[in-house]
Amino acid sequence: MTRSSNEVNLHQLEEEQLPVAKHNLKGWRHFLGLYAGEHVAASEFVFGATFVALGASMTDILIGLLIGNILAVLSWTFITTPIAVETRLSLYTYLQKIAGDSMSRLYNWANVIIFTVISAAMITVSATAVRFALNIPAQLNWYPTNPWFVLVVLAVGIIVVLVAMYGFNAVSNFSGICAPWLFVMFISGPLVLMPELANAVTGDTRVSDWAEFMHIGSISVWTGLDANGNPGIGLMEVIGFSWAANTITHFGLIDMALLRYAKKRSYGLCTSAGMLFGHYIAWISAGIMGAGTAVLVQKSITELDPGDVAFHALGLSGLVIVIVAGWTTANANLYRAGLAAQAIFSNHSRNKTTFMVGIVTVVIACFPFVFTKLLPLLTYAGLLVVPVGGIVFAEHFVFPRLGLTRYWAHYRKITHSKPAVTAWAAGLVFGFGLNALDVISFYYLFLPTWIFTILLYTALAKRHGAAEKYPQEEADLRTYDEQVETFQAKQAEQLPVQQDDNSLFTNVLTVLARGSLLITVLLAGYTMFFSAGMEQYVTNRTLFFNAGFGCTLAYFASAYWAMKRRQRTSLSSSVE
């Protein structure tokens, strides 16, 4: 049996170039786990300590982070997810369709830069745990001051590069295992260190009620004063940063690549697993851990790095959390950077482009500024891509309401969209110009920049062809979409039926993994609530460090083993 010519052409296309097939759509549990895993990471140690150093007050943190993260969830839900679900395309594919090759190439360069810097920051974070274990001094300058630290970064970085090149699927699966453990660690750390903070403030290791907790936090953690003793950032700045921290992915629409798999628009709300349980709780927890560590070691929080904080809060498990969380995050972002580079240098393989980008990443990671300045770096990176998100938003939502034609550049076979390139360039000038003039807080620069780009692109596109009608081209596109749907339906019929592994041994492994997490939390809670005096506290904390590390080993061994058994079951059912 031979395929039609159209079906042959579809068969030859990369899966990334086609809309997501119906049989590949995911349920809401998938997105809860995905966002919980991605947004509970080693970078949370950096952000938690940053808010303390910037002098936020405790009330501003509790309220501001909640409001800002809710705004981020709503941005994903009402901006990113509808476009992703309606088109089933990634941003890269959609952008190619509406703006042509030149715009896509420029945007890929921007992504190479952004994800390279983020990967470098995560490699540096992981290296802080190794340098702590090797008793290498903390790196507090923007440049490295110890050759052994550079060697540690190079060693950690090379592993990250090799895994991103050849073993990303394994890392992706492993990241799913890490999510529940990371969450437990961020809950346990503050419980373990709270008696130390309480004793430093009140002379008693016990916290009797919420009012006392607020008092201790206001005196020892979020004091309202920055590292220099000056009044710190306020409520609006806290809201702005927690909203702006992920503008790359929601207003910038990078997460179309993930949310195009969602069965419903409402699944955008699943990002709350990352924002409320990840950023909100993890940032608060990291602040408490940082302040508690500063009390323990008698240093300013600005003199500590994630390795210091994690070890004093969680013992050996803390070093594991910094290494693993930094490693998995760096791999994911380096993989993205390699993909973007491969799109630019299409005559080279993804492995080769990932290696070349990885070498640059490792060199950058040797300079500690990439993680100490992660907060402004992410904000400015968001400002770099937000205009592109505005262009896509205008094309998808604004054009139909104004009677303009969506995909007009595609219909006209334009490979260089002057309106898109001009609007992006003007958006950058506008946004960074506002920053230079200090008109508004740089945390909120993405909002006027986004709106400006939407208005400008709409006006330019209207003049260059979006106001015209293309009935024949639209009919051809509908025909093509129907052919794609038919092609993917035939593919679905050939897929094997997946079988879940419900064997007794796999279930025992799962129970063991969950039990390890439960024991860890119970030990942390015991340390906080049953430490009557510093002597008892030290005993309980030592018990948590030792038993908690044992639980960490037990969790990863049992959870990974269970995952591999389920994969083998799926593979066996596929072969059958």
pLDDT in tens, 331-382: 777 877 887 787 788 777 777 888 888 899 888 888 877 766 776 777 788 8
Q: What number is the average pLDDT over the span 475-485?
A: 84
Q: Where are the alpha helices (DSSP H) in 19-167?
A: 28-38, 43-53, 58-75, 81-87, 91-133, 147-166
Q: CA dihedral defined by 390, 86, 406, 447, rounded to 10 degrees?
A: -10
**Residue of higher predicted confidence among 458 and 438:** 458
Residue 485, in any domain of the structure: no
Q: What number is the average pLDDT over the span 502-526?
A: 91
pLDDT band for position 197 (50/70/90)?
confident
Number of domains, the chain: 1
pLDDT at 5 over 60: no
Residue 13, in any domain of the structure: no
Q: CA-CA distances (angstroms) from residue 535 to 220, 530, 531, 541?
A: 21, 12, 8, 10
Q: What number is the average pLDDT over the span 376-404?
A: 89
Residue 555, in any domain of the structure: no
Residue 300, in any domain of the structure: yes
Dist. CA 349–CA 285, nearest whole Å: 42
DSSP-derived secondary structure letter, 77: I
Q: What is the mean pLDDT of the chain?
A: 83
- Looking at residue 256, its pLDDT comes to 87
Tell how far CA 67 is from the center of its chain.
Answer: 19
In degrees, rounded to 5, the angle at the alpha carbon of residue 362 between the alpha carbons of residues 140 and 113 is 95
The number of residues in the chain equals: 576
Q: What number is the average pLDDT over the span 7-27?
A: 72
pLDDT band for position 169 (50/70/90)?
low
Please list, in sequence order, all residues whose beta carbon lies within 8 angstroms of the beta carbon of residue 304, skipping any fewer than 6 positions away. Answer: 49, 138, 290, 293, 294, 297
CATH number for 279:
1.10.4160.10
Residue 183, in any domain of the structure: yes
Residues of 91-105 as b/e, b for ≥16 C-beta within 10 angstroms? bbbbbbbbbbeebbe
Strand partners, 26: 262
- Looking at residue 574, its pLDDT comes to 43
Residue 446, in any domain of the structure: no
- Looking at residue 447, its pLDDT comes to 94
- Looking at residue 73, its pLDDT comes to 96
Residue 25, in any domain of the structure: no
pLDDT at 92 over 90: no
Q: What number is the average pLDDT over the span 95-123?
A: 84
Write out the residue range of the structural domain in which residue 296 sits.
30-384
pLDDT at 496 over 70: no
Express each pLDDT in 446-473 by its tens digit.
999 999 999 999 999 999 989 999 889 8
**Residue of higher predicted confidence among 40 and 386:** 386
Q: What number is the average pLDDT over the span 126-132?
A: 77
Residue 84, in any domain of the structure: yes
